[in-house]
Structure 1
Amino acid sequence: MPPPTATNLGYTPPDGGWGWAVVLASFISIGFSYAFPKSLTVYFKEIQEYFGTSYSEIACLSSVMLATMYAAGPISSILVNRYGSRPVVMVGGFLVGVGMVSASFGTSIVHLYLCVGVIGGFGLAFNLQPSLTIIGTYFQAKRPLANGLAMTGSPVVLFTLAPLNQLLFDSFGWRGSFLILGGIVLNCCVAGSLMRPVRKMVMSKPKAESSDCNETAAAEAVRTEDSSDKLSCVQRFIDISLFKDRGFLIYLVGNVVLFFGFFAPVVFLAPYAKHQGNDEYSAAFLLSIFALSDMFIRPLTGFVGNTKWIRPKIQYFFAFAVSYNGVCHLLCPLLPGYAGLVVYAVFFGFAFGMLSALLFETLMDLVGAKRFSTAVGLCTIIECGPVLLGPPISGALVDVFGEYKYLYYLCGVFMLLPGIFFFIMHYYNYKKLDEERHKAAAEMRTAEDTVHLNLGLDEK
C-alpha cells in the first residue's frame, strides 16, 4: 500500500470497517446527483407537447437542475462544516422527493423549473458535497479506491434509471412517473442515515514532541486569539484562504475551461448518430455502450490511482485523463460510419469515467480532507457557469454550420488545452512543493543545532 499523503487530520482514519458502508451510501447519493438530471430527458417530448413549449425551453429543465446543484455548493459546504454529512444528505434526499412530487402537479413549465430545477437542484447539491466529503474522513491510504467506487454510482444509477423511466412513462405518463420518482429518490435519505461520523482515534506523539507542540500551540493561541474573534460568521465556515493556495488555483483554472466541453459530447452523442442516418434504437445503444465503459473504468481507475506508482503523483494521472478526453473528441468526426461511433463510445466512456473518478480525489489531494468541503463548494459555484453554458454554446455550432463535427472539435480543444495546462502547472507545483519541504527540513535542522548549541553552553 502506498504511503498516505499528509492531510493533517489529527487522527488515524480507519481505511475500512464502517467506511465501506459509507462508500455504499455515497455510491447511491452521488449516483442520483449526477444521473437524475440526465435520466429525466425521457419525459421531455411529452412535457413539451403538453405545455406547448419549444425544445430549448424544455431542454433547460436539466440544465437548471445541474446549474442549481453546482451553484448551491457553498451552501452545502457550510451546512456540512456545521452539522456533518448525515443530516445534510437526508435533507437533500427529502428536498428532491418533495420537488418531484410537487412537479407531478405542475401547471406550467415555470412550475417545473421551480420544483424540479431549483428545489430538486438544491436537494442534489445537499447529496453530492457531503458524500464526497465524508469519504475523506474515513479513508486516507485507500482514498483513491474509495472515491473511484463511490463515483461509479453515477453510471450505474443512470444505466438503471434510463429503462426504468421508460417503463414508468409507458405505464403512468409523466405525472405519475414524477410522483413515483419522488418516492424512489427518498432512498438518498436511507443512504444519508448510513453516514455516521467517523470515530476519531487520535494519533499519539512522543513526549518531547508533545511538550514542544503544547508550548507552540499555547503561544499560537495567544497570538491568534484576537484575530480569530474578528472572523465573520461566513469565514468560520468558508476558507477564503484557498484562493491563495497554489494547487487549488491550478485545479480551479483548468476545471473552468474543461467544463465547457465536459457534458456536451454526451448530450449530443445520440443526435449526432441520428444525423448520420442511424435509427433511434441504434443511437440510444451508443449511450448504453458509453455507460457500460464508464461503469467499468471508474473502480479500475480508483484501484490504479491507489498504487504506489501513481498515488504520489496522481495529478499527472488526472492531467492524462483530461487530455485523453480531448483526443477522443478530436478524433470522433474522423471515424467512419456507425462502427466508428461505437469505437468512439467505448473509448469516450473510458475517458469520461477516468476523469470523473479522479475529479474530486485530485482536489482532496491538493487541499487535504479538512478543507475539502469548502474547496468543492467554491469550485462548484464557479463551475456552474461552464456547466450551464457549455451545451448551448456547442449546440449553437450545430445550428450555424448544420454539422456536428465542429461541436466535437470545439469540445476536444476545451479538454485538451486544460490537460496540457495541468501537466505543465503540476510539474511546477510538485517542484515547488519539493523545494518547500527541503527548505522546511533545513530550517528545522538549523533550529535543532541551535538548541543543542545553547544546551551545550548552559552545561559549560
Structure 2
Amino acid sequence: MKEQGSHYPYVMLIATTVMAMIIIGGLSSFSILYKELLDFYNTRAGDTAIISSLCIFLNFAIGPFANYAAEVYSFRLVMIVGGFLGFLGLFLSAFVSQMELWILTYGVISGLGFGLVYSPCFTVINFYFERRRALAIGTVLLGTGIGSVVFPFVFQSLIAYYGLRGAVLVISALTLNICVCAALIRQPKELSHRKTSLHQKTNSEDESQEMKNKTNHDEKKQTCFNCHVCKPKRPLFHFSLLRIPSFLIYSIGFMCSIFAYFSNFVLIPGHARAQGMDSEDIAVFLSVVGGMMVLARPAVGILADSNLIHKRNIIGAFVAVGGILSIILPWMPGFFPLIIYSVSVGIFPGSFFMFIPLLLLEITTLDNLPQAQGLMNLCIALPVGISQPAAGWLRDLTGNWCWSFRVSGAVSLLAGVCFVLEPAFRPKKCLKENQTVSSESDQLENL
C-alpha cells in the first residue's frame, strides 16, 4: 500500500474498520432482534421490518450530507456526532413500550447517527491509500464481516441473559466506541489544503494592508477570524454524473445488488423460523454470512487490484451467482441448504460494497470522489429502504417466503446483467481511451 506520510494511515484504517464492524455488525444482527420484536410486540413481519429498513435507508441516504459536512468541518467531528446519535437511539429504544416508537428511536435517530459515520469511513480511506486502494477498502469491509460473525452470538447471549430491553442497553453502550475510534481520524490533505491556501492568502493581504494603514487593525483581525471558519465552495452533489451512461448503469446495478443483499437479513431468519428453527440456528446462519465475508473480501480485493479480470465483470458474476442460488433455495428446505445459502451470501452478493468506490474512480477523479460516492449512496438508499419490508409484505401476502426469495434472486440477476453489459452503453471513444489508459497503467506497474 502506498500511503501519505507516516504509518498513521494504518491507525486510521484500523479505526474505520472497527467503526464499520460496529455499524454493519449491528445492522445485520438486527435479524436476531427482529425475531424477538415479532414475539414481544406480536406484530406483522412486514411492519416490523420497517424499523431496520429505515435505519439502513438513512445510513446510506445521508451519506452525501455526511461527506459534505466532513469536508466543511472535519471527518472526526462528524463521526463523533454520528456515534453519539447511534448510541442515543439505541438507549431510548430500551425504554419504549410500543413497536412503532422503535421506528423513531432506532430507525430515525440511530439511522442518522450511523449514516454520519458509515459513508465517511470509506471516503476518508480512499485519500490515504493509492496503489492498494481495493485492499484497503476490503480491509474495512473485513470489519463488517467480523461484526457479522460476532454480533449475532453477542446479541443472542445478551437477550438470553438480560432480556430484550437489557440487551439493547448493553448494545447502546457498545456503540459509544464509535466516538473513541472517530477521535483517531485526521483530515486528508487534499481537503484541507483549500482552507490553508485561503488562510495564507488572507494573512498576506492583512500584512500588506497593515503596512499601509495600521488603523485598520481591528478590522483585519475580524477578517482573519472569518477566514478560519470559511467553508469550501463545493457542490453537495455532482449531478453532472447523471449525464454519464456508465454512472447510470452502475447506479442501477448497485441499487439492485443492495436490494437483494439486505433482503437476505429478513429472508434467512424468517425462512428458518417458518421451518421451526430457533434463535441459535438463526445466529449460526448470520455468523456464516459474516465469516465468509471475512474470508472472501480480502481475496476479492487482491483479485480486483490484480487487473486480471475487470472489476465490473467480477461483481457482475458474483451478484448473478447469488441471484441464481436465491431462486433455487425455496425448493430445498432444511438446515444445510440454508447453511450453503448463507455461505453464498457472504461470498457473492456480500462483496459488492467494495466495488462502489472502485468503479466510481473510473468515472470521476479522487478529488471529486466524496460528491460522487454521496450521489451513489443517495441512489442506493431507496432500494435499501424498501427491500426488507417488501420481503415481509410478500410473505404476509403469500403465506410463505418462497416468492420473496425468487423476487430477490431476479433483482440480483438484473444487477449482474447491468454490470456485465455496462461497456455497451459507453461511447466508443471513451471506451478506447479507458482501454489505453488501463494498458499504460499496467505497464507502469510492471516496471
Query: Given the two structures, how large is their TM-score scaled by the length of structure 2?
Result: 0.79
**Root-mean-square deviation (CA), in Å?**
3.2
Q: Which amino acid aligns with 1:397?
A: L
Q: Which amino acid aligns with 2:409?
A: G
Between 126-135 and 408-417, report the one with greater CA deviation: 408-417
Partner of 1:143: 133
Partner of 2:21: 31
Query: Which whole-Å CA distance do the structure 2 matches of 1:137 and 1:244 have between them?
Result: 26
Instruction: Decide whether aligned partners of structure 1 residues 105 and 277 sit closer, same or farther in structure 2, where only a CA change above 3 A counts.
Output: closer
The offset of 1:32, in angstroms, is 2.4
* Aligned ranges 1:63-82 → 2 under 5 Å: 63-82=53-72
Please give the per-residue CA displacement for 1:402-446, whole angstroms capped at 9, x wherever unaligned. 343332222121011221121111355395424346999xxxxxx
Q: Helix, strand or coil: the match of 2:308?
A: coil
Aligned positions, number? 399
Query: Which whole-Å CA distance do the structure 2 matches of 1:48 and 1:397 have between them?
Result: 17
The offset of 1:234, in angstroms, is 8.3
Instruction: Decide whether aligned partners of structure 1 residues 434 and 45 sit closer, same or farther in structure 2, where only a CA change above 3 A counts.
Output: closer
Query: Which whole-Å CA distance do the structure 2 matches of 1:91 and 1:308 have between them?
Result: 38
Partner of 1:211: none
> Identity, % of aligned pairs?
25
Query: Which whole-Å CA distance do the structure 1 matches of 2:46 and 2:83 have between them?
Result: 28
Query: Which whole-Å CA distance do the structure 2 matches of 1:197 and 1:376 have between them?
Result: 18
Is 1:195 matched up with 2:185? Answer: yes
Do 1:318 and 1:362's aligned partners in 2 also have CA atoms closer than 8 Å?
Answer: no
Partner of 1:420: 417
Query: Which whole-Å CA distance do the structure 2 matches of 1:249 and 1:16 have between them?
Result: 38
Q: Which amino acid aligns with 2:272?
A: A
Instruction: Decide whether aligned partners of structure 1 residues 314 and 368 sit closer, same or farther in structure 2, where only a CA change above 3 A counts.
Output: farther
Q: Helix, strand or coil: the match of 2:367?
A: coil
Is 1:153 matched up with 2:140? Answer: no
Please give the per-residue CA displacement for 1:119-168, whole angstroms capped at 9, x wherever unaligned. 11111001111111011100111100000110111121122222222232
Partner of 1:299: 298
Partner of 1:268: 267
Partner of 2:80: 90
Instruction: Decide whether aligned partners of structure 1 residues 289 and 436 sit closer, same or farther in structure 2, where only a CA change above 3 A counts.
Output: closer
* Aligned ranges 1:246-325 → 2 under 5 Å: 246-276=245-275, 278=277, 281-310=280-309, 313-325=310-322
Between 298-307 and 134-143, report the one with greater CA deviation: 298-307
Larger Cα-atom Rg: 1
Do 2:145 and 2:292's aligned partners in 1 also have CA atoms closer than 8 Å?
Answer: no
Partner of 1:215: none
Query: Which whole-Å CA distance do the structure 2 matches of 1:350 and 1:125 have between them?
Result: 25
Query: Which whole-Å CA distance do the structure 2 matches of 1:254 and 1:194 have between them?
Result: 34
Instruction: Decide whether aligned partners of structure 1 residues 429 and 173 sit closer, same or farther in structure 2, where only a CA change above 3 A counts.
Output: same
Select the residue among 383, 388, 412 that pairs with 2:385: 388
Do 2:150 and 2:287's aligned partners in 1 also have CA atoms closer than 8 Å?
Answer: no
Do 1:38 and 1:62's aligned partners in 2 also have CA atoms closer than 8 Å?
Answer: no
Partner of 2:32: 42
Query: Which whole-Å CA distance do the structure 2 matches of 1:199 and 1:132 have between them?
Result: 16
Please give the per-residue CA displacement for 1:325-366, whole angstroms capped at 9, x wherever unaligned. 222223323446433333222223211332233244323443
Segments of 4+ in structure 1 off by > 6 A?
Answer: 437-440
Do 2:324 and 2:413's aligned partners in 1 also have CA atoms closer than 8 Å?
Answer: yes
Please give the per-residue CA displacement for 1:219-270, whole angstroms capped at 9, x wherever unaligned. xxxxxxxxxxxxx998633322222233322211222233332221332123
Do 2:86 and 2:113's aligned partners in 1 also have CA atoms closer than 8 Å?
Answer: yes
Partner of 2:374: 377
Query: Which whole-Å CA distance do the structure 1 matches of 2:259 and 2:278 have between them?
Result: 29
Q: Which amino acid aligns with 1:286?
A: F
Query: Which whole-Å CA distance do the structure 1 matches of 2:255 and 2:356 have between them?
Result: 13
Query: Which whole-Å CA distance do the structure 2 matches of 1:410 and 1:15 have between them?
Result: 48
List runs of 5+ in structure 1 lacking aligned partners. Answer: 2-11, 201-231, 441-460
The offset of 1:48, in angstroms, is 5.4
The offset of 1:393, in angstroms, is 2.5
Is 1:239 matched up with 2:238? Answer: yes
Partner of 1:354: 351
Do 1:42 and 1:165's aligned partners in 2 also have CA atoms closer than 8 Å?
Answer: yes
Query: Which whole-Å CA distance do the structure 2 matches of 1:58 and 1:396 have between them?
Result: 10
Do 2:152 and 2:286's aligned partners in 1 also have CA atoms closer than 8 Å?
Answer: no
* Aligned ranges 1:9-20 → 2 under 5 Å: 13-14=3-4, 17-20=7-10
Please give the per-residue CA displacement for 1:252-306, whole angstroms capped at 9, x wherever unaligned. 1222233332221332123323434555544543333222212211111112111
Q: Which amino acid aligns with 1:171?
A: Y
Is 1:102 matched up with 2:99? Answer: no
Instruction: Decide whether aligned partners of structure 1 residues 277 and 15 sit closer, same or farther in structure 2, where only a CA change above 3 A counts.
Output: farther
Q: Which amino acid aligns with 1:195?
A: I
Query: Which whole-Å CA distance do the structure 1 matches of 2:388 and 2:238 have between them?
Result: 31
Q: Which amino acid aligns with 1:307?
A: S
Do 1:326 and 1:413's aligned partners in 2 also have CA atoms closer than 8 Å?
Answer: yes
Do 2:82 and 2:114's aligned partners in 1 also have CA atoms closer than 8 Å?
Answer: yes
Q: Which amino acid aligns with 1:285?
A: V
Query: Which whole-Å CA distance do the structure 2 matches of 1:372 and 1:438 have between them?
Result: 21
Query: Given the two structures, how large is their TM-score scaled by the length of structure 1?
Result: 0.77
Q: Helix, strand or coil: the match of 1:262?
A: helix
Partner of 2:158: 168
* Aligned ranges 1:327-338 → 2 under 5 Å: 327-335=324-332, 337-338=334-335
Instruction: Decide whether aligned partners of structure 1 residues 16 and 418 sit closer, same or farther in structure 2, where only a CA change above 3 A counts.
Output: farther
Do 1:16 and 1:138's aligned partners in 2 also have CA atoms closer than 8 Å?
Answer: no
Q: Helix, strand or coil: the match of 2:348?
A: helix
Do 2:31 and 2:265's aligned partners in 1 also have CA atoms closer than 8 Å?
Answer: no
Do 1:248 and 1:367's aligned partners in 2 also have CA atoms closer than 8 Å?
Answer: no
Instruction: Decide whether aligned partners of structure 1 residues 44 and 257 sit closer, same or farther in structure 2, where only a CA change above 3 A counts.
Output: closer
Do 1:48 and 1:55's aligned partners in 2 also have CA atoms closer than 8 Å?
Answer: yes
